[in-house]
Structure 1
Amino acid sequence: MLSDLTLQGIPAISKVYMNQPNTDDKKRIIITPEGGFKAVADWILETDGTALLPVLSVYRP
């Protein structure tokens, strides 16, 4: 039953993993108020399956 369940209406994405990156290549780069750069380890959602167009077209008010 859980293998056939679709969350939020995007059936091409089969599983989602939450990940907080340890390496700098996956960290988000921000510009500090002083004008420097800083790598921030924000949470990333990694998926099994791809559905870029349906994901980007989801309306979020």
Structure 2
Amino acid sequence: MSKEKLILTKEDESKASMPVFIDADLHEKLLELKKETKIPLRRIVEKMIRFSIDNVVIEESE
């Protein structure tokens, strides 16, 4: 599997926000990334989804 990394570049903080519905523990981790990078949650989640889609491996079940 690829060892590529998801790169987040710090930004100036945005005043707009949108809800993201995920488990509380994942939301907390995203908030930590948002705090560190000042990237809106929506953009962090979009980047993660795009990265995942581009790097997904589908395996047959046993």
Relative to the length of structure 2, the TM-score reads 0.20
Larger strand share, 1 or 2: 1
